[in-house]
């Protein structure tokens, strides 16, 4: 992950210096460093702007032992400010004798002024308060401890009498403005002018003479505080090491990021393991190397086959390399021996024979076992296939291999290999199924039914694997919501946001024309009624959750939030169809005719909503079959609108049925002039009930026509 290391803001004044805050601690977890850097940068930028203190740019740094921020070109003091406060009316400022009243005296006292210093503007007392700027070093003495206190991490600890919380005990704090100490105390530690080098190899204090030279100073002490520089150094050193093995690095970006946050001074060590272990599946070897030992595998220069070498990254200076290498190799040999034992044990029985053991694995305490989930997936696949036969709109996939994948897809969870290496779930299922003679479609589908693993990773390749993945994920969502398991804030321990994104992406990519709401209903139908009846709001909550996830995905693609609200006003529906409507709406907003037309449509829909005295369903409110009596069309403007609307309805219906939503929207343009004339000449809410109902029926039919594509009343600036 490349962090935005430097950010510029206001122009610095002629008298500027750099400032440094370094939080030194015992070693932080690798996953805490990047978020800590982002927070530190944000806190610094926001609070400096709030203090109106100009600065040139901000750099943030992070290693296992320190988080630091350097602010460049920081002005020497905050600017003077003038604050104007309005008080009570001038009429009550003095009494009949010309003396200040209690109201005026109280206002002046509250602002720290004498009554004679108040002025009058617009018949009100005005207090003008001049606030002197604050010296930057003094201001930073207040801001620095605030920044540290506001940092948030997944886990924190308390280690001293003030009960300050931080992921690891704070051991030193370096704080400078230019070469001057910024003095404060936090968590029992006083700020200093010095920092420390790399671990036990450099226990001596290192004086920091200038804040702006912090990164260069530590680089000279063998500490690379720049995370980007560490990643580049690791890759460079590792590439140099593998040249001796005549291979190339098998580079994983997440592992590189993690290793970079485990070291301050990287040194690459080329190690070896017994070539006999190369007969293990490549996935197993890579998992042992990367996930468990944080080593980089080495491949042949061409072909991608692994070599019996690896590159380990140590933290520290290059001494005792042979001892370190032997330690790396010894630990890896034990791990590989375990993997071979588990692999051989698993091969003693087929994957299919392990399915029954899923009865002993709990999926969720209220939803039963993994075996029960597997059976629900099979039932749901059958219903999805049947849905296709009855409506012609469901996912197209061969049912028989889908059911076979579903039968075996969770079986590897009870293997010794996956128990020891959970990262290999799915992959081991594919490997074992292939060894048992299952077809490639089935064995590949077993692995890919977990896809996408992340919000943006690869989707299942085949239709059959995509169908099983879809069924698995929507089953999890429907079941969890039924028993009250819903994501809250940043907490999502069951990965429901990822599951929902996977469902939506599969429906879009495969162009499967099944409404999301109906897919949810199918998933709910395979659960026992006793589970589905626990929470009456579960379906509504799940639909709303899926809608929010869909809206978030679409906003990331550049669509405006009001456009998204407009096309999702009724329901999510069929995802490919919804996307076509959204794109058509997005494009037509660029046309100059759109804005006035949208305003007129919005007005007509608001009239219908305001006239409805009861809460009715969305489409009942905008009724395309609302009865219109021709004999009650009296005004020329309403006659013209009615006649134009009937022609437009036919065209919109035709184009919408063909999915030509751009043409459907363009066909609405002729409504603009008669609609404007109608609103100018005709009163809808007249006293005559029959006439009012007839004109409302026109509005309903109009609203129904445009709502086939989007609810224009949701659009802003319209």
Q: pLDDT value at position 374?
A: 97
Three-state SS for 364? strand
Identify whether the C-beta of residue 597 lies closer than 8 Å to the C-beta of residue 711: no
Buried residues in 426-438 as b, exposed as e (16+ CB within 10 A): bbbbbbbbbebeb
| 577-593 per-position pLDDT tens digit | 999 999 999 988 888 77
Average pLDDT in the chain: 89
Tokens of 636: 């020329």
pLDDT of 637 > 60? The answer is yes
Q: What tokens does 686 get?
A: 């007249």
Please give the average per-residue pLDDT across 220-224, as a whole number. Answer: 93
What tokens were used for 29?
A: 């977890």
Radius of gyration of the chain (CA): 34
Residues pairing with 610 in the sheet = none
Token look-up 């009058």 returns: 120
Q: Which of 8-17, 185-194, 270-279, 452-461 has the lowest mean pLDDT?
A: 8-17
Q: Other C-beta atoms within 10 Å of 346: how many?
A: 22
Bridge partners (DSSP) listed for residue 131: 81
Lookup result for tokens 């608001």: 606
**Which tens digits make up the pLDDT trace of 420-478?**
999 999 999 999 999 999 999 999 999 999 999 988 889 999 999 999 999 999 999 99
Residues 24, 66 contacting (CB under 8 angstroms): yes
pTM for this model (two decimals):
0.79
pLDDT > 60? residue 687: yes
**Mean pLDDT throughout 584-612?**
81
H or E stretch including 129? Answer: strand 124-131
Please state the φ and ψ torsions of residue 336, each to the nearest 5 degrees: -70, -35
Rounded-to-integer distance, Cα 409 and Cα 188, Å: 54
Q: Between 705 and 43, where is the model more confident?
A: 43
Model pLDDT for residues 520-547, shown as the tens digit of each residue: 999 999 999 988 887 879 999 999 999 9
pLDDT 10s digits, 562-581: 999 999 988 899 999 999 99
Torsion of CA 601, 606, 611, 615, to 10 degrees: 120
Please state the rounded mean pLDDT for residues 34-38. 96
Contacts of 387 (CB under 8 A, 6+ apart): 393, 394, 514, 518, 522
Pick the CATH number of 353-558 from 1.10.3470, 1.10.3210, 1.20.120, 3.40.50: 1.10.3210
Q: What is the dihedral of CA 680, 684, 686, 691, to 10 degrees?
A: 120
- Indicate the burial class of 144 (C-beta count within 10 angstroms; 0-12, 13-18, 19 or more): buried
CA–CA separation, 41 vs 43, rounded Å?
A: 6
Contact 251, 268 (CB under 8 A): no
The pLDDT of residue 85 is 86
Distance of CA 243 to the CA centre of its chain: 39
For residue 43, pLDDT beyond 60: yes
Instruction: Give dist(CA 364, CA 655) in Å, integer.
Output: 47
CA distances from 155 to 29, 500, 564 (A): 10, 27, 37
Q: 287 pLDDT exceeds 90?
A: yes
Pair type for strands 66-75 and 266-272: unpaired
Task: For residue 17, give both structure tokens.
Answer: 């210096």
pLDDT of 618 reads: 46
Bond before 264 cis per omega within 30 degrees: no
Which has the minimum average pLDDT: 130-139, 355-364, 540-549?
130-139
Q: Reply yes or no: is the peptide bond before residue 549 cis, omega within 30 of 0.
A: no
With vertex at residue 628, the alpha carbon angle to CA 602 and CA 607, rounded to the nearest 5 degrees, is 25
The predicted structure's pLDDT at residue 92? 86
DSSP-assigned beta bridge partners for residue 70? 20, 59
pLDDT band at 202 (very low <50, low <70, confident <90, very high): low
Condensed to tens digits (0 to 9), the pLDDT of residues 175-196 reads 999 999 999 999 999 999 999 9
pLDDT at res. 1 = 37
- The dihedral region occupied by 68, where left means phi > 0, alpha psi between -120 and 50, and beta the remainder, is beta
Instruction: Report phi then psi at 176, rounded to 5.
Output: -140, 150
| Strand 189-192 versus strand 170-177 pairing type | parallel
Q: Which residue has the higher pLDDT, 488 or 348?
A: 348
Give the whole-number percent of the chain exceeding pLDDT 90: 62
Q: Quick one: which of 465, 466, 446 has its CA closest to 508?
A: 466
Mean pLDDT of 356-367: 95
Please name the residue ranges forming H helices in 314-408.
Answer: 321-346, 370-391, 399-408
pLDDT tens-digit profile of 291-334?
Answer: 999 999 999 988 889 999 999 999 987 778 899 999 999 999 99
Topology of domain 581-714 in CATH is Isoleucyl-tRNA Synthetase; Domain 1 (1.10.730)
* CA-wise closest residue to 706 among 658, 666, 659: 666
Helix (H) or strand (E) holding 362: strand 362-364
Contact 196, 206 (CB under 8 A): yes
Q: For 314-325, how does the pLDDT look when each residue is reduced to its tens digit (9 = 90+)? A: 998 777 889 999
Cα(397)–Cα(464) distance, rounded to whole angstroms? Answer: 5
The dihedral of CA 572, 575, 581, 582: what is its sign?
positive
Q: What are the pLDDT digits (tens) for 107-130?
A: 888 888 888 888 888 888 888 887
> Is the CB of residue 670 less than 8 Å from the CB of residue 592?
no
Please state the φ and ψ torsions of residue 60, each to the nearest 5 degrees: -120, 145
Domain ranges within the chain, ordered by starting residue: 6-78+135-220, 81-131, 227-346, 353-558, 581-714
Quick one: which of 466, 548, 532 has its CA closest to 505? 466
3-state secondary structure of 189: strand
pLDDT at residue number 226: 96
pLDDT at 394: 62
CB neighbourhood size of 87 (10 A) = 19
240-257: per-residue pLDDT in tens?
A: 999 888 899 999 999 999
Quote the pLDDT of residue 111. 85
Cα–chain-centroid distance for residue 608? 37
Q: Quick one: which H or E segment has residue 51?
A: none
pLDDT interval class at 9 (50, 70, 90): very low
Contacts of 433 by beta carbon, 8 Å cutoff, 6+ apart: 351, 408, 442, 443, 446
What pLDDT is stored for residue 614 in this prediction? 43
User: What pLDDT shows up at residue 595?
Assistant: 80
Read off φ and ψ for residue 298, nearest 5 degrees: -120, 130
* pLDDT: which is higher, 95 or 470: 470
- Check residue 623 and give its pLDDT: 53
The strand pair at 189-192 and 185-186 is best described as antiparallel
């Amino acid at each position: 992950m490349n962090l935005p290391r430097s950010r510029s803001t206001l122009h610095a004044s002629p008298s500027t210096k750099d400032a440094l805050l370094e939080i030194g601690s015992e070693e932080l977890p690798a996953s805490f460093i990047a978020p800590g850097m982002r927070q530190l940068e944000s806190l610094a930028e926001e609070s400096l702007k709030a203090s109106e203190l100009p600065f040139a740019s901000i750099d943030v740094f992070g290693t296992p032992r320190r988080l630091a921020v350097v602010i460049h070109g920081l002005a020497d003091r905050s600017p003077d400010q003038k604050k104007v406060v309005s008080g009570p009316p001038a009429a009550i400022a003095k009494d009949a004798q010309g003396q200040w009243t209690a109201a005026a005296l109280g206002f002046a006292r509250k602002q720290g002024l004498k009554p004679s210093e108040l002025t009058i503007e617009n018949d009100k007392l005005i207090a003008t308060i001049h606030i002197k700027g604050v010296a930057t070093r003094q201001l930073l003495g207040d801001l620095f401890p605030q920044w540290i206190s506001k940092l948030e991490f997944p886990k924190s600890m308390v280690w001293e009498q003030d009960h300050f919380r931080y992921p690891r005990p704070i051991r030193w704090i370096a704080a400078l403005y230019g070469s001057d100490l910024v003095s404060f105390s936090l968590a029992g530690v006083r700020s200093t002018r010095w920092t420390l080098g790399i671990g036990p190899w450099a226990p001596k204090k290192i004086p920091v003479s200038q804040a702006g030279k912090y990164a260069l100073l530590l680089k000279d002490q063998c500490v690379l505080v720049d995370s980007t520089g560490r990643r580049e150094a690791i890759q460079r050193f590792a590439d140099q090491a593998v040249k001796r093995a005549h291979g190339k690095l098998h580079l994983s970006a997440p592992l590189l990021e993690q290793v970079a946050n485990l070291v301050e001074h990287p040194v690459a060590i080329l190690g070896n393991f017994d070539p006999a272990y190369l007969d293990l599946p490549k996935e197993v070897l890579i998992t042992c190397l990367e996930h468990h030992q944080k080593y980089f595998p080495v491949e042949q220069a061409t072909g991608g086959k692994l070599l019996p070498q690896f590159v380990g990254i140590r933290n520290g200076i290059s001494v005792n390399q042979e001892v370190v290498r032997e330690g790396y190799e010894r630990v890896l040999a034990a791990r590989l021996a375990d993997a071979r034992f588990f692999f051989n044990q698993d091969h003693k029985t087929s994957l299919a024979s392990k399915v029954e053991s899923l009865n002993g694995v709990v999926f969720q305490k209220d939803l039963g076992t993994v075996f029960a989930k597997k059976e629900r997936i099979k039932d749901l696949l059958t219903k999805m296939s049947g849905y296709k036969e009855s409506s012609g709109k469901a996912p197209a996939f061969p049912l028989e291999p889908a059911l076979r994948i579903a039968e075996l897809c969770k079986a590897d969870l009870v293997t010794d290999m996956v128990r020891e290496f959970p990262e290999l779930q799915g992959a081991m299922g594919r490997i074992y199924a292939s060894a048992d003679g299952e077809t490639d479609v089935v064995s590949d589908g077993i692995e890919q039914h977990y896809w996408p693993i992340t919000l943006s990773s690869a989707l299942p390749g085949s239709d059959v694997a995509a169908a099983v993945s879809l069924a698995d994920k929507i089953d999890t969502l429907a079941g969890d919501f039924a028993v009250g398991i819903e994501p809250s804030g940043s907490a999502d321990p069951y990965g429901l946001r990822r599951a929902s994104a996977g469902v939506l992406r599969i429906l879009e990519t495969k162009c499967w024309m099944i409404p999301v709401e109906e897919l949810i209903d199918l998933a709910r139908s395979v659960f026992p009624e006793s589970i589905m009846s626990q929470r009456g709001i579960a379906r509504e909550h799940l639909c709303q959750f899926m809608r929010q996830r869909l809206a978030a995905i679409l906003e990331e693609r550049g669509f405006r939030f009001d456009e998204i609200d407009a096309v999702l006003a009724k329901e999510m529906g069929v995802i490919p169809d919804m996307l076509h409507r959204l794109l058509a709406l997005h494009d037509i907003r660029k046309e100059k005719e759109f804005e006035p037309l949208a305003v007129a449509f919005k007005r007509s829909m608001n009239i219908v909503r305001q006239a409805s005295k009861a809460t009715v369903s969305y489409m009942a409110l905008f009724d395309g079959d609302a009865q219109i009596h021709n004999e009650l069309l009296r005004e020329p403007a309403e006659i013209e609108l009615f006649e134009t609307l009937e022609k437009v309805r036919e065209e919109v219906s035709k184009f919408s049925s063909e999915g030509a939503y751009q043409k459907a929207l363009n066909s609405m343009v002729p409504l603009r002039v008669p609609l404007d004339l109608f609103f100018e000449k005709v009163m809808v809410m007249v006293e005559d009930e029959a006439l009012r109902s007839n004109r409302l029926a026109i509005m309903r039919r109009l609203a129904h026509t445009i709502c086939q594509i989007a609810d224009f009343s949701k659009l802003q600036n319209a």
